[in-house]
Amino acid sequence: MPSLLIIAHGSRRAASNDEVRALADAVRAQPDQAYDHVETAFLELAEPSIPAGLAALASKGATDIVAFPYFLAAGTHVAQDIPEAIAEFSAAHPAVKVRMTPHLGASATLPAAILGVAA
């Protein structure tokens, strides 16, 4: 089974980073979720970094990692920074397959989720 790395921006505010970690805990606890491991990583301002998060999963035996950008819009971080970090990791770890999903904001289910939260 693959492993999931939820990638967020990172914040100077520790509570914001903890929210992302709590999200990973909630994803991990979902019944019938399809991942051996669910972890978090941050682009900046928090740890672990994206390369460190990928390396941590690889050290747990992951050979197939799904990188999920927890971002609402496809700015420079989603379009350039995250793919570059993944490419650098992949070059150094060719035995580990890393696939980046579309960012959260591109999800077709997001409009319904927004309406559900707003209700």
- Can you read off the two tokens belonging to residue 25? 């805990």
Domain count, the chain: 1
Q: What is the pLDDT of residues 100-118, one digit of tens each?
A: 999 999 999 999 999 999 9
Q: What is the pLDDT of residues 54-89, one digit of tens each?
A: 999 999 999 999 999 999 999 999 999 999 999 999
Place 1 in a pLDDT band, splitting at 50, 70 and 90.
confident
Domain extent for 25: 3-118
Residues ≥6 apart with Cβ < 8 Å to 48: 40, 41, 42, 56
The whole model's pTM is what?
0.96
List Cα–Cα distances, 62 to 45, 50, 90, 117, 118, in angstroms.
25, 15, 13, 34, 37
The CATH number for 82's domain is: 3.40.50.1400
Closest CA to 98 of 1, 18, 36, 5: 5
- The reported pLDDT for the residue numbered 30 is 97
